[in-house]
Structure 1
Amino acid sequence: MTAAEQRSLLDTAVSLPDLFRAVAAARGAAPALRDGERTLSYRELDDLTDRIAARLAAEGVRPGDRVGILLPRSAETQISILAVLKAGAAYVPLDPSYPAERLRFLVRDADIGVVVGDAGHCAAGGLKDVRVLAPEAEETIPPAPPVPLDGSELAYVIYTSGSTGTPKGCMVQHTSVLDLVRGVMSVVDLDTEDRVGLFLPFIFDGSVLQFWLSLAAGATAVVVPARVAQSMPDFLDLLRREAVTLVIQVPTTLRALAHAHEAAGRPPLALRYVLVGGESVELDVVSAFLARCPGTPPEVVNIYGPTEAACVATCRVLTQEDFDGPVPSPIGTALPHLLVEVRGEAMEPVPDGEVGELVIAGSGVAVGYLGRPELTAERFVVLDTPQGPVRYYRTGDLARRLPDGAFAYLGRNDQQVKVRGIRVELGEVETYLRAHPMVREAAATVVDTQAGAQFLTACVVLADQAPEKPEALLRQHMLASLPPFMAPDRYQFVPELPSTDSGKLDRRAVHDMATPRRAPRP
């Protein structure tokens, strides 16, 4: 499959199954999916998912339905995703590690009648009112004919945490994913020889990009087992053994990977691209990692985007100019199918250079939140523009537009806190903390005492061979860089920072870590 053929298949596809079938026909016996010692060719993957799609139809799954997938990381996860999409349904990721109460909520909220997965996992989750199908073909059921799709159908519903504590299901269409892949493929030049590591679990939106980038390129998708993803030395070994050329990381895991790579003696890697997103990029970590990579280092692309914009809205290939420049988190410019702007509190446009909220419009924007019309109306707003009314998603992220048209990410607007009546952006405090050479990781939070006092507290992981009395040195560094009200009042030195299942910083756990434990009353 030539680059021209690859682009033609991607440009003419109207749905995700349409794209996969076209690529599978072109690639045939070439490897599509690898999991340990097991490899499925494109032809085998196409036939197997056709047969499972037929089983789903026989179980009553109809176009437009929502089907749960309850599986651990494995080739069966990707197989099930393709089968559900071929049946014309949308898939809903369900993690076997979720508490039973959360699984029951998701199944009920998404109105799921069929789950592809393991009967034991379903029973353990108390999912009694669903039909369970193992992700296997049945010889007595012939492959189903293709379900006609026009791209407007839902591809998936991924649940994200809600500010009220109730998860919200984000609904994304086939066309949004296709345009996402087209946009990112204009930045990363993948071909049939590439091998894409499936590092992110499928309950997170970045998993959509890693899988469909691989399929669209006619490349090989390499499953990363959960136990390997949780051990950076093991993950590094997999990258070398499987000659992975592209992987998506969050800054926290990239930092851990860089440390593992250094500890292993800087072995050569086949990596051509590292996409990093989900949190504010750590330019010092990226710069050091690239400098220590033997041979030709990979390109590192900083990607930004919420689940509500199909996971990527802007991107920037990081260069030495960024590492030496004044912008702590450059996120680049919008992908071709999206419009990204900075707006004020009343959603008015703000001049270049001023801080405001990022808003996103275009074909990548999600339909909304499943069964949550009020929340959808609050976050997805229609604004008047010179071109007429335009529907935008309000990200809640702060940014400013730079003179060259790119954007600088400044953190969440809900990470903007008040300390003794003065607004403080936690992300900015953390950026300056990490700028000190003796700091490996840092997170800031505000701790309230019983007496009503507030303290800006920094939780810090020190680098190796940190000097004595680090608190005094850090305090001096911060006061030399920031106004006094932005310099932490307290420093707590910890072996590591807590992270969520996706590898992002767990801010609630950071706050708990920074809060002094009170002795019980006698």
Structure 2
Amino acid sequence: MTDDDRSTLDMMGLLQVHVTDYPRYSSVIDVFRQVVAANPNRVAVRDASSQLTYLQLDQRSDVLTQWLARRSFAAETLVGVLAARSCDTIVAFIGILKANLAFLPFDVKAPVGRMETILSSLQGRRLHVVLVGPDVLHKQTRNKDAHQAPVAVAPPSATSLAYVMFTSGSTGQPKGVMVEHRNILRLAKLRNVVNCATTMAHMASITFDASTWEIYAALLNGGTLICIDSMVVLDHIALPKVFIQEQVQTMFITPALLKQYLLQCPTVISMLDTLVVGGDRLDPQDMMAARRLTTARIINGYGPTENTGFSTCYSLSEQELYTDRVPIGRALNNSGAYVMDPQQRLVPLGVVGELVVTGDGLARGYIDPQQNSDRFVPVMVGGEKVEGYRTGDNVRYRPVDGQLEFLARKDRQVKVRGQRVEIGEIEHQARSSPDVVDAAVELITLSDCGSRGPELIGFLVMEPSRARDSRQGRGGWTCDGRASAALQLVWARLQSVLPHYMVPSVLLPISNLPLTASGKMDRRRLREMGSAISAQQLVELRMTAKREKRLPTSEAEQRMQKIWSRVLQIEPATIGLDDGFFQLGGNSISAMKVVGEARKMGTNLTVADVFRRHTLAELVNGQDIEVTQIQQEPEQTFLVEPAIKAALFEEIDSGSFDIHSEDVADILPLTSCQEKSLVDSITHGQYANYFYLDTGARLDLSCLERDYFGKLSSTSSSNPFAYKMSMEISINPSAIFASKTYNKSRRPRPRSHLFF
């Protein structure tokens, strides 16, 4: 890199860490106690059945701290917390930190084998497990020593261990990331993001590092944390009710959930003040759709667990069009984010390199120190050597403004529904099965079902006596009887040791893995082979057990069969009464779609029903599922008072407009985003709405020109079609009818641009 290149980076502020004042030398507990003193009676945390003020949370956690202190655990002893999101879980976290111990979160839905793998990698550390649930925590702490004199507890410091969170590991062993109190405070005390008036949704699993931001950004700033059940998170009817009831203002979600909320419950997005999206690559169109729904600040957050929650963030601009990708922004305060070559040297603006992060968010390292050497490395920035973490992500500084853009992974790590997954860990577990000689796993988008997103597909070289090659001609696959039992055993093993999002959608027996000319595994060829599979073939390959299929007969069964067919994009005839939704390729996102489709048809179904009753027969025949009808009309409420609505209809019929009241379906208040658009139009005379259409590779320009300009010529300023587009904006009387300056004849003509 030349001196001019370095000077450019320096002038754009890309070589300096933006240092701000925050309690760098305090612990999480120091700051928490300050918040308690300032807000003792404010609600700190609430779940579906209980709530705690800051004072109550402080007192309840003190009880657990004393109970732990009497066990004489050494400082930084790990305490495993097996829990769902709840008030009691927060009590456990705070109580453990007060005792100068560290917690290790376990999801209640994690397979036992996965927990055993994690426990075996603790390097001889002592672990005490706390079960959290209704009354369980109270029973553990309610004993004869509860009323004894308090035990003195040495408080934690800024560099004390706070928690260990495990991520996927390429060698088959998950990596335990050790996070300190200072790391949490650097994230939680970001300026101008969360304050004492904030109501924060707690929707992330406690094993997902996004939960760190949810919990501590709320509690260490005096806000209120709302714990939302995992089934409610996936329920597009129940979730908006919770958000409205609790007046939730701030939320973190993954891109997959954002896409579903935009389709099924946009109310959740529209009522927010701050929306943070992260955990995976974003669809730019989804972010722009969210921007049209709300005036809230929308942030694209990026960061590995090793840098505590978020490393960089980008606030969406109101003007910029995002057609290709959404930047991941710049480093958070008190952190650095640098683009470097393989020797950890800075690269110029616009050049692709690996993202290396530094600063106060950097974790202590992995619990197994041998895993640190190639990830936690010293780097030179501005003539100073600092500790950095190699993220393994290829990025670049955007030439126009220096914002970071994520391009791809350097290694074989992928994101599946927001979760970081090392392909090597899945392959390691597959090879550990006695009938598997070799294994490869790839994340593949099937040729005819791109809307479902990519699927994990496993290719297995089996013992010859157990299976034969499942390929059947060009692009065809089959599975013989010998493979059925062997594959079921492999699948059962993977489900017992891996989280559900890491289990491949299908396992394909293959005689040998393809090789390149240099003798390496030809993964490109594997992806080609996998992408040739159709959605229908994928289902048939999953159904390895040979049994007579029972077909739906009742109206309710056939209706549910059609819903599954549409959501999973497979033939209805493939789906029998004994087939399981998740066996057919369903997941939590598609379960949300099933519930949405069912409710449109009047069937009272919840996401929890889909998870509890796996087969079609169980789902349809479940209690209160088949015959209960959803109340189609909610309890009567008035968004616009009837008297005001009547006056507006009368004004419409007075001749001021080119339509009659009979042509108006309803009059509703403007959303804040719509109101801003209308006010800008009134104030400045013009307001543009942009649409980006991707036509694909083949485009007939003559047809496009003829149809487009033909439509424009037939749409005059007084044409009802053009006017209807404006009238579809919900009407707020104070915004439009009180203003006589709005003139539809001044609307700007459409402008068109064609990009190649």
Is the CA contact 1:151–1:175 (under 8 Å) kept in the aligned structure 2? Answer: yes
CA shift in 2, pair 1:350/1:171, >3 Å = same
**Partner residue of 2:406 out of 406, 409, 429:** 409
Alignment of 1:484-495 (within 5 A): 494=569
Q: Report SS of the residue matched to 1:106.
A: helix
Q: Structure 1, residues 50-76: CA drift from partner, whole Å, max 9, x if none?
A: 111000111222322111111222211
CA shift in 2, pair 1:300/1:268, >3 Å = closer
If each structure's strand is expressed as a fraction of its own residues, which one has the higher value?
1
Is the CA contact 2:77–2:101 (under 8 Å) kept in the aligned structure 1? Answer: yes
1:32 and 2:44 correspond = yes
Partner of 2:54: 42
Partner of 1:342: 339
Quote the offset at 1:156 in angstroms: 0.5
- How many Å separate the matches in 1 of 2:253 and 2:301? 10
CA shift in 2, pair 1:320/1:375, >3 Å = same
* TM-score, normalization by structure 1: 0.74
CA shift in 2, pair 1:224/1:446, >3 Å = closer
Quote the offset at 1:441 in angstroms: 5.3
Partner of 1:55: 67
Partner of 2:614: none
Partner of 1:87: 99
Is the CA contact 1:251–1:282 (under 8 Å) kept in the aligned structure 2? Answer: yes
Alignment of 1:196-211 (within 5 A): 196-211=200-215
Bigger Cα displacement from structure 2, 66-75 vs 385-394: 385-394
Partner of 1:245: 249
Quote the offset at 1:233 in angstroms: 3.1
Is the CA contact 1:73–1:224 (under 8 Å) kept in the aligned structure 2? Answer: yes
Partner of 1:510: none
Is the CA contact 1:34–1:75 (under 8 Å) kept in the aligned structure 2? Answer: yes
* Amino acid paired to 2:27: S
CA shift in 2, pair 1:141/1:225, >3 Å = farther
**Partner residue of 1:150 out of 125, 144, 157:** 157
Is the CA contact 1:116–1:134 (under 8 Å) kept in the aligned structure 2? Answer: no
**Partner residue of 1:216 out of 220, 244, 250:** 220
Partner of 2:353: 356
- How many Å separate the matches in 2 of 1:268 and 1:414? 34
Is the CA contact 1:196–1:220 (under 8 Å) kept in the aligned structure 2? Answer: yes
* Amino acid paired to 2:130: V
Quote the offset at 1:99 in angstroms: 2.3
Q: Report SS of the residue matched to 2:176.
A: strand
1:312 and 2:310 correspond = yes
1:117 and 2:115 correspond = no
- How many Å separate the matches in 1 of 2:457 and 2:111? 30
**Partner residue of 1:165 out of 152, 163, 172:** 172
Q: Report SS of the residue matched to 1:330.
A: coil
Is the CA contact 1:261–1:267 (under 8 Å) kept in the aligned structure 2? Answer: yes
Q: Structure 1, residues 215-242: CA drift from partner, whole Å, max 9, x if none?
A: 1221111111122123343223221221
Q: Report SS of the residue matched to 1:253.
A: helix
- How many Å separate the matches in 2 of 1:77 and 1:459? 44
* Amino acid paired to 1:301: I
CA shift in 2, pair 1:9/1:62, >3 Å = farther
- How many Å separate the matches in 1 of 2:184 and 2:393? 22
CA shift in 2, pair 1:320/1:338, >3 Å = same
Partner of 2:575: none
* Amino acid paired to 1:346: Q
Quote the offset at 1:245 in angstroms: 0.7
**Partner residue of 1:368 out of 362, 365, 378:** 365
Partner of 2:286: 285
- How many Å separate the matches in 2 of 1:415 and 1:161? 11
Is the CA contact 1:211–1:221 (under 8 Å) kept in the aligned structure 2? Answer: yes
Structure 1 unaligned regions, length at least 5: 1-7, 123-131, 418-425, 462-491, 504-522
Quote the offset at 1:282 in angstroms: 1.8
Quote the offset at 1:327 in angstroms: 4.8
- How many Å separate the matches in 2 of 1:159 and 1:99? 14
CA shift in 2, pair 1:102/1:142, >3 Å = farther
Quote the offset at 1:21 in angstroms: 0.6
CA shift in 2, pair 1:157/1:454, >3 Å = closer
* Amino acid paired to 2:393: D
Partner of 1:420: none
- How many Å separate the matches in 2 of 1:278 and 1:170? 17
Partner of 1:255: 259
Bigger Cα displacement from structure 2, 98-107 vs 391-400: 98-107
Is the CA contact 1:280–1:411 (under 8 Å) kept in the aligned structure 2? Answer: no
CA shift in 2, pair 1:228/1:441, >3 Å = same
RMSD across aligned positions (CA)? 3.6
Alignment of 1:121-520 (within 5 A): 136=141, 139-141=146-148, 144-145=151-152, 147-182=154-189, 185-188=190-193, 190-262=194-266, 266=267, 270-293=271-294, 297-322=295-320, 324-325=321-322, 327-371=324-368, 373-403=369-399, 404-414=401-411, 440=451, 442-443=453-454, 452=514, 453-456=525-528, 457=531, 494=569
Quote the offset at 1:455 in angstroms: 4.9
* Amino acid paired to 1:313: S
- How many Å separate the matches in 2 of 1:171 and 1:82? 17
* Amino acid paired to 1:85: L
Quote the offset at 1:269 in angstroms: 5.1
Is the CA contact 2:393–2:408 (under 8 Å) kept in the aligned structure 1? Answer: yes
Quote the offset at 1:362 in angstroms: 1.2
Structure 2 unaligned regions, length at least 5: 1-19, 415-441, 460-470, 472-509, 515-524, 536-566, 571-583, 592-756
Q: Structure 1, residues 138-187: CA drift from partner, whole Å, max 9, x if none?
A: 542455555333211111100111111211100011111111222xx325
- How many Å separate the matches in 2 of 1:241 and 1:163? 43
Q: Structure 1, residues 432-480: CA drift from partner, whole Å, max 9, x if none?
A: x9xxxx975533889987594555439999xxxxxxxxxxxxxxxxxxx
Is the CA contact 2:284–2:323 (under 8 Å) kept in the aligned structure 1? Answer: no
* Amino acid paired to 1:41: T
CA shift in 2, pair 1:194/1:56, >3 Å = same
Q: Structure 1, residues 71-126: CA drift from partner, whole Å, max 9, x if none?
A: 22221111100000000011111222222233233334332431111599x9xxxx
Q: Report SS of the residue matched to 1:28.
A: coil
Q: Report SS of the residue matched to 2:61.
A: helix
CA shift in 2, pair 1:343/1:50, >3 Å = same
* Amino acid paired to 2:302: Y
Quote the offset at 1:339 in angstroms: 1.1
- How many Å separate the matches in 2 of 1:298 and 1:249? 15
Quote the offset at 1:16 in angstroms: 0.4
* TM-score, normalization by structure 2: 0.52
- How many Å separate the matches in 2 of 1:18 and 1:335? 23
CA shift in 2, pair 1:268/1:153, >3 Å = closer
CA shift in 2, pair 1:352/1:255, >3 Å = same
Q: Report SS of the residue matched to 1:217.
A: coil
CA shift in 2, pair 1:259/1:156, >3 Å = same
CA shift in 2, pair 1:219/1:499, >3 Å = same
Is the CA contact 1:51–1:143 (under 8 Å) kept in the aligned structure 2? Answer: no
* Amino acid paired to 1:329: V
1:23 and 2:30 correspond = no
Is the CA contact 1:459–1:493 (under 8 Å) kept in the aligned structure 2? Answer: no
Q: Report SS of the residue matched to 2:104.
A: strand
